[in-house]
Structure 1
């Protein structure tokens, strides 16, 4: 079967090669050209699956110039695939300028679902996943890193970062300093690989464990932080008071307080008292 002319966004495994989907293999076999972040790195993956399709390099340093050449390949009737070193292209990887240019020239961009380190780690983190903010890599310089975290300090969403092993301790120190030593952290390392680990605790606690174990400063890392929780003068989170308010519209305050306490991990008497004081 001949693939329709389009740019195909093809995710590749983030560690475990068994996560490569049959559709991804099929597309990479059938396109005329595969644009790779690193042809040498991707060459090993393609060889593993017996894929002999022609490849070309597309990375941060040549993407803008290469995008027009790839459009010319599409114009010649050739389907093209884009892959990164691992995971879903464009997620902290090259591809944004290419996709924008291809769409602007009127060609279809076809995304395939597949591995993404941020989403995979979040699903197992135990942190709120209904709303989250993916922030990519924190800045490498200390001042910029602290400024970025200060900007995010009161963001209520779960924050997700990628981090390199040689900077993980510095980033954890910055998080403890800006977001607070008790801010809940989950550090996922080597997700889907042999030495996959998840560290959970306050920022200071996770930092201490990372410093004490050199193995925790190796490999690919996804760092996740619980979002900011606003509290009133009595220490009741604003979100818990909102839950209590909604429940009290249908239930007696005592029952509403008991349910809200269970949802948010608080003491029901404290919530009941706060509800009385709020006139619920």
Structure 2
């Protein structure tokens, strides 16, 4: 958290101090470049600043809703699609659960494989099919993760790493047995009515399942996927860190007009004008 506390007026004026038209607050360091690319794409001249965590971003949202603060908040949607949504032109949310759901697009992952593997492969469609299969195999966990959020159960469903639900430490495939066993352990915390209600809500969503998965959770699956394809094309194992993956996928602006997630966000940002 920032060591200095600023008044609402000072926070609203920060953009002017940096010779920008708007001040945009985001949750953490990882979010700054993602939103910078999108605000630039929307032709909005903004100073983008991280606030140091979810608790601080919630405070900023409250200032907008309660005090009509004129700064902007850009943040992850999490599972807000399944509760009463907060609607405000100065609160911009990701299309998917988090920035990672957009960062890890088939096009971006293909670029990573090309750059790391040093071969101009065309595997975007194959990666898209993998993402669909990966998502479908996690449907059961997703239902309980959403229910956990909606009914505030305090149960860890996805967590921050999908490793435990993969067929092996280096696999890119979900182990259905691991998923089933884990679901059996947590089902007792939920009623049948709660699960059925979430299933109905999810069935009405127009978004692919991929966009409802927890962003940090899918990261290791993506790294394993990249390593698999790189080894396929040049026969060598590659090491790719989370930081490297972030740097290689943070720009989601290529062919953005053909992407529903980026189009939706850009449309919301342009309303600020």
Which TM class, normalised by the smaller chain length?
under 0.3
Determine which structure has greater relative contact order: mean sequence separation of CA pairs < 8 Å that are 6+ residues apart, divided by chain length: 2
TM-score, structure 2 as length reference = 0.28
- Compare CA radii of gyration and give the structure with the larger one: 1
Higher helix share: 2
Higher strand share: 1
